A and B are shown apart, each in its own frame.
Chain A
């Protein structure tokens, strides 16, 4: 491989990586917000993403809706499901050992996957083409229209999220709860409502990611959420779990690394790369790239 073609392939993989990474970032945001607020790895998050993809699929095929209404319906439905899951499965266990909640989360995740299989059959569905399949060739780099849409919508959602968290009253309450739940309660913040709100936002973002992936890869199935869910968690840890910009950075970085590994080494090692990153980051900087080290108190 000569240098020029190596260079162009590198840039090509970077382009693919950024569009894949923005999907991871959207899912990772939900993980990171939920973890920041109740210290729970919500294993079911990846399955909310799958649910979003299916709602989007039914809205576009049966409902004959155009892209944006379908996207919004998927986000709303997923948000409601996320809130219901929190209310039924996680809230009763809030003062239990962490492991009990973690096992419940694994249970909810399996329930969504296999319950989903029962409801919609395990066969993959083909997502209808919502956008034209124009391909732009910019100096030898191939960019298709869907990648641009994914990137644009992800960035827009992240900007909205950042605005909500940093400049609204609810956002302030979220930050307060995540900083110190008890103190926030004493200040008159309705902690339960804020937690529900966090689940709603996180699930909505995951559903958006699901619809975008459905459009990008054309195919959805009930188990599609497992791997992206785990990888988005890796992305959240990579950026520093509980930190919103960290999730965005981690997601994009992970997407780029994965694209490079599958482009230059072998696509079968793609999944191993993500977990390798996880182990390395946990061993050397468990607080993540943007995290601060916190000393554990007795």
Chain B
């Protein structure tokens, strides 16, 4: 127990160092606005991808409607700051709560489905959420909700990401997380062992949705606008590509893939068609030659590097 806590503190310290370095570089203008934008996008993507990985990778429930929950978080948070003049932290929490609640309400009935039926149902629900928002004049309808203050800074984005990743990592290593993984491995066997499969599926779905809400809140408060067109199922496919590239069931894989693909899309910003062509080829080639993604369900850890050098004997990597 103490070992885990020590490791967590060590990781947290490392995060603080990273934060200090990057923040310092931003303060001194060594990192220009274009790269700040991309760093914040990386943070938002990491939140989205790890939370989707909790649903798709760890619990094995294939959801492709993540952009819908992101939209809910983005809009609720924007309503809190623009219309109700609430502070940003309240707005983020409200966005997360709204997305989580919706995830719970949607998850309860739809998670009875499995496999590709669930995929299509979540895709449909994501679209229904978007179309519903499109038809609410209070939040701007089709032209989007404008005039959102830019509260999201690197600090907010970074610490939201750290909290998300730590939360999901600790969840997975807890009893509840193990129950989720057992559902992925074999649902019927898990049920026979006394795991309340419905409860854990809905739990994972709700938590995943809530974090998507956080990402949405950060997103809308960085770009001044919440627009329905930002949350189509193309956005869901973007997130899905990152999850699959990193490996279904690998948090470090998710982080690596988010960083990698955000840079790829930044580099291809002026050729949007090429970006999607590359994404699609990536998906196909990955599935054909490495269906487990970059990292499979393993985690990247210092231990692994030790093994590469021929140091550690048991290379079973279990945490970042």
Contact = CB atoms under 8 A, between A and B. Distances in A.
A179 interface: no
B124 A278 contact: yes
Contacts of B8: none
A114 interface: yes
Contacts of B109: 279, 283
Contacts of A100: 287, 291
Contacts of B117: 237, 282, 286
Interface string A92-116: 1100111111111011111101110
A275 B287 contact: no
Nearest to A99: B62
Interface string A253-297: 000000000000010110110111011001100100000000000
A122 interface: yes
A92 B288 contact: yes
Interface range on chain A: under 10, 10 to 19, 20 to 34, or 35 or more?
35 or more
B125 A104 contact: no
Contact of A104 (B120, B237, B276, B283): B283
Contacts of A276: 124, 128
A247 to B, nearest CB: 15
A186 interface: no
Contacts of A230: 120, 123-124
A36 to B, nearest CB: 14
A135 B209 CA distance: 50
Contacts, number: 119
Contacts of B237: 106, 110
Contacts of B120: 41, 230, 233, 237, 278, 282
Nearest to B62: A99
A266 to B, nearest CB: 7
A118 interface: yes
A187 interface: no
Interface of B: 62, 64, 109-110, 112-113, 115-117, 119-121, 123-125, 127-128, 131-132, 134-135, 142, 188, 237, 240, 244, 248, 273-274, 276-277, 279-284, 286-288, 291
Given A103-B244, A109-B280, A279-B121, 17 more contacts: A41-B119, A41-B120, A89-B284, A102-B62, A103-B240, A103-B286, A114-B276, A114-B277, A117-B276, A234-B124, A271-B127, A272-B127, A275-B125, A275-B128, A276-B128, A279-B109, A282-B121
24 contacts: A97-B291, A100-B287, A104-B283, A104-B288, A107-B279, A107-B282, A108-B280, A109-B280, A110-B237, A114-B273, A114-B274, A115-B280, A117-B273, A118-B273, A122-B273, A230-B123, A237-B120, A266-B135, A268-B131, A274-B124, A276-B128, A282-B113, A283-B109, A298-B188
